[in-house]
Amino acid sequence: MSAPTASADGPGEATRALQERFQAALMPTYGVPPVAIARGEGARVWDADGREYLDLIGGIAVSALGHGHPALTKAVADQAATLAHTSNLFLHEREVELAERLIALLGDPGARVFLTNSGTEANEAALKLARKAAGPGRTVLVAAENGFHGRTLGALAVTGKEAIRAPFGPYGTEVRFFPHGDAEALRAAVDGDTAAVIVEPVQGEAGVVPAPDGYLADVRAVCDETGAAFILDEIQSGIGRTGHWFAHQAAGVRPDILTLAKGLGGGLPIGACVGFGRFATAFAKGDHGSTFGGNPVAAAAALAVLDTVGSDDLVGNAARTGAALADGIRATGHPLLAGVRGTGLWLGLALTADRAADVQARAAAHGFLVNAVAPDAVRLAPPLTLTADQAASFTGALPAILDEVTP
């Protein structure tokens, strides 16, 4: 496959017009995005001016099936035409079927699912569930430095990125932070006052930063020794992203509470909080709720994602294509490239200088959408349908992109 059509520097006329409307109508929480996406097909997207890009961001690990996948569009259209919303006052088959499918994939028939609209809501549910199970005497939460769990106040309280956390404190709960992957520091932070430990298997927002081998087993052991709940945030890593259905399965470790979102809906807003063991039934009637959680259309989308990931072996494709992509990036041997982190189709390009924003901009000019997730790190989280030829088109263009931003 040839590389996507390279775009000229700077936005086109249609994009500029939309950016002006954006500034006039929306709060400035995202600045002004540099690209206005108008449509997509598979792993390709086109902007408002007709420029083509290979989408290596995938809506931040969301668009598992790419754009316009027929299984997803049919499921959404059929469900919207049949039943679009019920609220939590009534049940419907799609939410039950989705919960059953997740439980089966997780391999624990005793698990129970609470469906949400997003990852941050899944983490809010997880924190409440852990606090409810712990009782009033255990209120401390323990989380990793540089971790990311969401923007709402509860999830933000355990997010270890000081720049986004500090402006909104105090949070009304004690949170102890420890260095990501440091088992001894974790052990020192957890005691009889700790309700829960919340971690990610790999820190996505920090630049796709893995922990040492055995880290999740260490977290499991500390929680077992102290009685704290083990909450595992797999919002980015779940649903095949790492070349496994769930990252914790590859580690041979089961958390007490698991949170999912992003790739689960393939572009529709949905998340899940899954409780195991005593955490499956710690919530009682009225303890938590969501008007839109488990919405029929979003649940139908998630079922289509799970069906397609399974039937098309997209977990295997993530492993194979991700490995080829990582190898191709390493093979460039460019002096600006310090290394590649991550597994499957969830990779971080570590740079030798703080030029990630420039790499993102120049990649877009060459027809590739990537994410400058940290000053010295670029994140790739493309659709799980990415082909080897598409991956090769990026690695072929990468040396020129890096040359253009090398100090």
The DSSP annotation for 183-242 comes to HHHHHHH--TTEEEEEE-SEETTTTSEEPPTTHHHHHHHHHHHHT-EEEEE-TTTTTTTT
Place of tokens 């263009």: 397
96-144, pLDDT tens digit by residue? 999 999 999 999 999 999 999 999 999 999 999 999 999 999 999 999 9
User: Could you tell me the pLDDT band of residue 380, with boundaries at 50, 70 and 90?
Assistant: very high
Instruction: Give catalytic status of residue 279 as yes or no.
Output: no
Instruction: Give catalytic status of residue 74 as yes or no.
Output: no
Q: Of 6-10, 106-110, 279-283, where does mean pLDDT reach its minimum?
A: 6-10
Q: How high is the pLDDT of residue 269?
A: 98
CA distance 63 to 49: 22
Active-site residue, selected from the candidate residues 47, 49, 55, 233: 233
Active-site residue, selected from the candidate residues 47, 55, 262, 376: 262
Which CATH topology does 70-311 take? Aspartate Aminotransferase; domain 2 (3.40.640)
Q: Is the pTM of this model over 0.75?
A: yes
What is the DSSP pairing of strand 194-199 with strand 140-144?
parallel
Active-site residue, selected from the candidate residues 49, 55, 148, 218: 148
User: Any idea what DSSP says for residue 168?
Assistant: G
What is the DSSP pairing of strand 229-233 with strand 257-260?
parallel
CA distance 345 to 394: 13
DSSP characters over 62-104: T-TT-BS-HHHHHHHHHHHHH-----TTS--HHHHHHHHHHHH
Q: How high is the pLDDT of residue 8?
A: 57
Place of tokens 């259905």: 245
What average pLDDT is seen over the chain? Answer: 96
Which CATH topology does 13-68+313-405 take? Aspartate Aminotransferase, domain 1 (3.90.1150)
CB 14 within 8 Å of CB 48: yes
- pLDDT at residue 3 above 90? no
CB 202 within 8 Å of CB 211: yes
- pLDDT at residue 6 above 70? no
DSSP characters over 368-406: EE-EEEETTEEEE---TT--HHHHHHHHHHHHHHHHHH-
User: Could you tell me the pLDDT band of residue 407, with boundaries at 50, 70 and 90?
Assistant: confident
Of 303, 279, 265, the C-alpha closest to 110 is: 279
- pLDDT at residue 4 above 60? no
- Domain limits, CATH 3.40.640.10, in the chain: 70-311
- pLDDT at residue 322 above 90? yes
- pLDDT at residue 188 above 90? yes
CA distance 234 to 246: 7
Q: How high is the pLDDT of residue 1?
A: 45
209-246, pLDDT tens digit by residue? 999 999 999 999 999 999 999 999 999 999 999 999 99
246: left (phi over 0), alpha (psi -120 to 50) or beta: beta
Q: How high is the pLDDT of residue 5?
A: 55
- pLDDT at residue 181 above 50? yes
CB 299 within 8 Å of CB 115: yes
CA distance 323 to 339: 14
CA distance 160 to 285: 32
- Domain limits, CATH 3.90.1150.10, in the chain: 13-68+313-405
CB 100 within 8 Å of CB 267: no
Cβ atoms within 10 Å, residue 17: 14
Mean per-residue pLDDT for 86-92?
96
Of 274, 198, 237, the C-alpha closest to 384 is: 237
Q: How high is the pLDDT of residue 9?
A: 72
Q: How high is the pLDDT of residue 191?
A: 97
Q: What does each C-alpha distance from 290 to 116, 121, 272 come to in angstroms?
A: 7, 9, 12
- pLDDT at residue 254 above 90? yes
Instruction: Give catalytic status of residue 233 as yes or no.
Output: yes
